[in-house]
Structure formats: structure tokens, C-alpha cells
Structure 1
Amino acid sequence: MTAEFFKEILTEPAIKDFGVLRLENGEIDAECLDLVMGMAQSNRILHIKRTEIPRDYYHENACKFYDISYDDARWVRIENLLTLKDSYTVSLGSNLLTQRDLNTFIKYWIDSDHDMVASLSSFKSTIAFETERLFDGIVVLKRRRQASYVVAANPTKQRKRSILTINWNDGKFRLKSWDKDQTFRLWGSFEFKSWASEYKVLMVLNKKKELERELEEIQKLLETRQDQNVVKKKNEIERELQNVSQDVDSLYLELRDGVYSYI
């Protein structure tokens, strides 16, 4: 199919204002893909299935649709994922994302000023699951009864979905964001839960991490110059850190391989 013919199809009155566009079975070149990506809108759905895409293809609008499914996602980069805003779901097939990419995404999600995506999943990932590397620099809590890893958004950001869960199974992963007070039914149970308790625990753990960072910085400052105001600030941080550490101890958690879990 030529780009000219493809453009004619996309500009047909019945198609140009599409809500859902599915491209299936075959190949598509960069020029035709550019036409599709140029029509990206936050209320449109784009699914590309069983269709080979040029490996060196790139477009800044790749993740600017509401609902996205790419069977062949080897061309999708972390830069694309960082443009997500109020999207519903992103489903990636074969892809070249790394643990560092996912670590970057989670950190970006934590400090984002807006909700990014309700669900991001990959069903053909080759990434090894190593929690210390995946969650490097991130405060993570593992749930008691399910193999879910939980992260909280920066509380200074006005976000509706302030909880991110990460599930991993045999090379397949799913990141899902939640309202912390949203209730859901536990798998295989009639019991309903929310993320409120996990959120509260994560706030305490993040506070401890922040105080430790502040204390380290102020100690370095005191190595270069002694100042009574700085010493006073250091003492205040130490007292607050002691109180928060006691709160953490009361939670009966252990830190193993970069993840907090209940003892």
C-alpha cells in the first residue's frame, strides 16, 4: 500500500474522525505510520496487531492515544512511555525495554504532575526480574498475600491515582495505577480491600528516606563549616528521624533485595 493511498483512506469522511483504528496482518512502512501517529488524540484508540513495524521507527506521538496495543513494540522507547498522560491502557508485545527503562518510568511516575496511565503491560518481555536493580532508589512495599509490589506517588502532586502496583510473572509484567481509596476484590475471595493501609505505610517509609537524605546532606555541610543554625537543624532532623524510625519499627517490616515486606 502506498502512502498516498493510505492517506486517502485516512481522510475518508467515515474514517478521519475515527475513535478506534486497528491495523492488522501485514507490514507498514514509516511513511504510513507517520500518517497514523500524526492523528494521535487523547480520546482515540490505536491497535496494531500482527503487523511488522520498522525496527528503527520512532515517533513522539506513539503513546499519545487513549488506548494502545502494539504486538510488535520493539520500536517503542522509554521516551515514548514518559509522554503518557491520562491514558487508559498500554499493551506491548515484543519489546526491547530494559530494567533501567522500567526503573526510569516508575521514578518519573512518582513525581509526575499528572496521572499517566491506568495500566501498562508487556506480555513478551525479556527483562530479568531483579528487584534491587528494578527498584533502585525507589521505596517499594510488597503486599502480604499477593506478589504485588506497591509504590506511592509524591504526595505533593495532585494526583487521582496515587498508588502504582507492579506484578511480574514469567517475563510478563503489569504496572497498574489506583486511587488509594479505591476498593477491589481480592483474587479468589469475596473480601474487598483498598490501598489506604499500604499508602500510609509507604508515606512513613518515604519520610524516613527523605530525613536520612537531609541528614546526610547537612552532615556534609558541617564537615566544611560549623554553624550553630546548621547544628540546630541537624539536631531537629535527628529527633524527627528517631521518631519516624520508631514508627517504621512498629510496622514489623524487613528490607530485602531493595523491597520492604512484612515479617
Structure 2
Amino acid sequence: MSSFLFENSNDSEDEPNIRIFWESDDLNSKRSMKINISGGKIDENRLKTIMDNAESDSKIEIIGTEIPPKFRHEKAFSSFKSIEYQDASWVQIEDLYNLRNAKSVKLGANNDFTNSEYNMLIEHWLSQEWDMFEKLEIVRYKWVSLRIQWVLSGVDGIVSTRGGQDVYVFLAKNRENRKNTVGIVYWKKDTFFMETMDPKDYCSLDGGEEEYNKLLELNKDD
């Protein structure tokens, strides 16, 4: 079930389609705001106004829309529970540090993140005081190589296999006030993935409890 709050009429190719509506969860009837923007280009002030008025824990999806390269907004990564920005040319790695309790985050391939910046993001997650996200997905251009020794430099973890996929697993250093303290990194089809899990859920996986105990041993001095 959904009810519209706003829907514009697209009068030109440069004009984005904007739909803002309430979306209901069939399980518990909880409503959340969803912002869907597609096509064209969006003016910086217009996008700022949309984010200014977004409810906490809204979903935002901007696909096929050009976002101003210098766009900045305090809510862009801190207030939404589901985020997709297909045009990620404006996103800096430091913006991701503001993520807080997001379910899913997806960025398009036109970002220019380096191996060392991915490492900075992981290091920030390790010491953060709150849960940042459950799943982060960053599409990458094929010609840009990820180097595991750089991305995970200084990170104590183990290599595991999940669903036939090699994954790199590690623990947050700050585990006192966070739920999802197991970090998992992998990449496939030119996409970087990072997922986080509750230790109880990780231990319920095949071989998960043994792997978690290894991680505790690796991090016993933290």
C-alpha cells in the first residue's frame, strides 16, 4: 500500500521525474517515506529541499538523474534507511562515514574511490561508535582494480567462503554499543560489497561459530 505526497509532471528531457510517497510495510503496517527520482538533471536547491523535508528512516532512490558535482547535504547519508545514488560522481569517501543504521546503500560506478579510500572506510567502520549499515554496494568501472593487500591493509581478519565466494571477515574494534560487529568484504562482477552481521547470526552459519572464535583470538588485545 502506498499514498502519494508529491508527483511532478516531466515537461522536458532535462526535468527529472520526482515521486514522493508513503509506503506501508505489509507485516506491521508501519509507514515510511520513499523518494524516487529518475531521469534528467536535478537542481541543487531542489534536491536540498527534498532532503530537508524527508522523514527520518526514509528510503531514497535516484536513478538516471545527474546530481550536481558539488552537492552536499547532512541528511544524504545519515538519515535514510535505504539509499541508492546511481550518479555517485559527487560522493566523497568521507560522506560514507556519516552512515547510521542504514539497511542498504548502493552507489553507481562513476565514483572515483581509490584502494586506500576503501581501506579508510573499513578502518572508520572498525572504530565507529554506532552501526553504520547492513549492506554497502559500490559498483566500479571494469578498468579500476581493487588490490586486496591495500583495501584490507592493517585489518586483522580471516578468509572464508560463502556461497562459493571468497570473503574477508573481521571484527569491529568497538563492540560495546553496536549490534552488527562482524564485517564481511568481497567483490564480484566489478562491484565492491561490504556487509555487517550480528555475531549471533554469523555463528549460526555453517562454520560460523568456529570462525568467530578465531576472530576473537585475533582481536583479543583490542
* 2:93 aligned residue: 78
Contact 1:45–1:66, Cα closer than 8 Å, also in 2: yes
Letter in 2 for 1:150: V
* 2:67 aligned residue: 53
Task: Report the more deviating stretch, 75-84 or 125-134.
Answer: 125-134
Partner SS for 2:70: coil
Partner SS for 2:215: helix
Query: For residues 141 and 52 of structure 2, what CA distance do their matches in structure 1 show?
Result: 28
Shift of 1:25: 1.1
1:163 aligns with 2:182: yes
1:42 aligns with 2:61: no
Q: Which of these two proteins has the greater Rg computed from alpha carbons?
A: 1
More strand per residue: 2
Contact 2:172–2:182, Cα closer than 8 Å, also in 1: yes
Contact 1:149–1:166, Cα closer than 8 Å, also in 2: yes
Question: What is the aligned length?
Answer: 194
Shift of 1:161: 0.7
Letter in 2 for 1:39: N
TM-score, normalization: structure 2?
A: 0.77
Query: For residues 185 and 160 of structure 2, what CA distance do their matches in structure 1 show?
Result: 11
Shift of 1:18: 6.5
* 1:142 aligned residue: 159
1:174 aligns with 2:193: yes
Alignment deviations for residues 198-241 of structure 1 (CA, whole Å, 9 cap, x no partner)? 22112212236x6xxxxxxxxxxxxxxxxxxxxxxxxxxxxxxx
Query: For residues 122 and 105 of structure 1, what CA distance do their matches in structure 2 show?
Result: 12
2:150 to 133, 144, 147: 133
Contact 1:181–1:194, Cα closer than 8 Å, also in 2: no
In structure 1, the gaps of 5 or more residues are 186-191, 211-263
* 2:27 aligned residue: none
Query: For residues 86 and 207 of structure 1, what CA distance do their matches in structure 2 show?
Result: 26
Distance 1:19 1:135, change over 3 A: same
* 1:153 aligned residue: 172
Contact 1:51–1:72, Cα closer than 8 Å, also in 2: yes
Query: For residues 73 and 36 of structure 1, what CA distance do their matches in structure 2 show?
Result: 18
Query: For residues 141 and 97 of structure 2, what CA distance do their matches in structure 1 show?
Result: 18
Query: For residues 93 and 101 of structure 1, what CA distance do their matches in structure 2 show?
Result: 16
Distance 1:58 1:137, change over 3 A: same
* 2:128 aligned residue: 112
TM-score, normalization: structure 1?
A: 0.66
Shift of 1:142: 0.7
* 1:196 aligned residue: 209
Contact 2:157–2:168, Cα closer than 8 Å, also in 1: yes
* 2:47 aligned residue: 33
